[in-house]
């Protein structure tokens, strides 16, 4: 009886498995796309991926050096002129260096004044007295030398006494010469070379102060162009790193400020190198804004960048191909008054009219 039950259950399980496999082969209907695919409006055209940029490209404003932000003078959408102050870093550390540099400059200036005013009138009497004293000692020694020489002729003095007195006369004569030389040097005033060295040291300290002033001026970051503040990533009290924050044309995410000229918008299209042979300068083109509505903006070709390079990933999509080379074509967006608004950094589909079919393009 148990064996019969086991066989029946096995048959039921096999039947159920066959049923599941049979029903699993049924095709599940694909959902309708959220929006219709973008199509080329030209009978013969090239499609490319484009990104909207200001006429000046997106300029990422970098801090000249690392420091704490003490003031931000602009906000998003503010219009700025070239040279306008954007933000300022804490100047305390550099100002302390300037205080020390000013003190060193003043010390060098005092040294120059001391050398120029040397010697003082009160410096002469002591040296003149030394000259008079040396002359008197020499005269006394010479008188004694003459006396010893006369005594030696009479046999009242020895050769040793005469030699000692002769050496003493020589020593005192050298002392007198030294004292007179010191007096003459004092009367001639300060040496021009000493003054030149002191003045050079003073100029070096002045240059150091000017260099510090330049550093202080650099702490106030100014706009390099006329434009509009498009992004603000800093607030007073925050710390910013100095140095480069990214190349112009691709606004860096960590840039303190991003500025661009929004008076005219450009579209930078990346055309595949295989499609470039049929793209002509001045060709008609349109940019289609992505979305449920097919909104097109006329484009005017400005130039074709003469250097091909690897494709930059500008959409972030996992399906975007980057293992190819492209040529960048720059267009001006001709947005009509009251037309759709474009935003820098926005990705659009660019279609370029080639005017030739694939058959005509063959050699």
Quick: pLDDT tens for 294-314. Answer: 888 999 999 999 999 888 766
Size of the chain in residues: 363
Quick one: tokens of 11?
């048959």
Quick: pLDDT tens for 175-196. Answer: 988 988 888 888 777 788 888 8
Q: Is 11 helix (H, G, I), strand (E, B) or coil?
A: helix
Lowest-confidence segment of 15-29, 70-84, 262-276 by average pLDDT: 15-29
The CA-based dihedral angle spanning residues 264, 270, 275, 281, taken in that order and rounded to the nearest 10 degrees? 20
* pLDDT level of residue 249 (50, 70, 90 thresholds): very low
Q: Quick check: 14 pLDDT over 80?
A: no
Between 199 and 357, whose confidence is greater?
199
Average of per-residue pLDDT across 132-148: 85
Residue 41 near residue 284, CB atoms below 8 Å: no
Quick: pLDDT tens for 223-239. Answer: 999 999 999 999 999 99
Burial of 295 (0-12, 13-18, 19+ CB in 10 A): middle
Quick one: tokens of 14?
């096999």
The Cα–Cα gap between 160 and 162 comes to 5
Quick one: tokens of 195?
């003054």
């Amino acid at each position: 009886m148990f064996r019969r039950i086991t066989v029946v259950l096995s048959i039921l399980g096999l039947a159920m498995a066959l049923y599941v496999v049979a029903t699993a082969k049924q095709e599940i209907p694909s959902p309708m796309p959220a929006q219709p695919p973008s199509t080329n409006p030209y009978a013969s055209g090239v499609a490319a991926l484009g990104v909207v940029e200001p006429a000046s490209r997106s300029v990422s404003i970098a801090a000249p050096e690392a420091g704490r932000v003490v003031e931000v003078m602009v906000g998003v959408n503010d219009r700025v002129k070239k040279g306008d102050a954007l933000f300022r870093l804490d100047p305390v550390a550099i100002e302390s260096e300037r205080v020390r540099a000013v003190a060193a400059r003043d010390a060098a200036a005092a040294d120059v004044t001391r050398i120029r005013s040397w010697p003082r009138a009160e410096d002469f009497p002591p040296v003149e007295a030394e000259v008079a004293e040396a002359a008197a000692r020499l005269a006394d020694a010479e008188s004694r030398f003459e006396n010893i020489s006369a005594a030696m002729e009479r046999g009242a003095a020895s050769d040793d006494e005469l030699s000692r007195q002769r050496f003493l006369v020589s020593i005192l004569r050298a002392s007198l010469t030294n004292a007179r030389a010191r007096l003459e040097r004092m009367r001639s005033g300060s040496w021009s070379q000493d003054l030149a060295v002191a003045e050079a040291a003073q100029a070096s300290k002045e240059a150091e102060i000017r260099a510090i002033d330049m550093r202080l001026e650099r702490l106030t970051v100014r706009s390099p162009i006329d434009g509009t503040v498009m992004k603000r990533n800093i607030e007073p009290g925050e710390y910013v790193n100095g140095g480069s924050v990214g190349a112009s044309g691709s606004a860096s995410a960590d840039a303190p400020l991003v500025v661009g000229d929004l008076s005219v918008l450009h579209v930078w299209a990346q055309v595949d190198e295989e499609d470039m042979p049929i793209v002509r300068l001045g060709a008609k083109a349109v940019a289609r804004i992505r979305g449920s509505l097919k909104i097109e903006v006329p484009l005017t070709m400005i130039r074709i960048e003469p250097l091909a390079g690897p494709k930059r990933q500008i959409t972030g999509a996992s399906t975007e191909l980057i293992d190819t080379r492209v040529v960048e074509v720059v267009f001006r967006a001709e947005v009509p008054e009251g037309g759709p608004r474009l935003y820098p950094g926005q990705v659009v589909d660019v279609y370029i009219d080639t005017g030739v079919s694939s058959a005509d393009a063959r050699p």
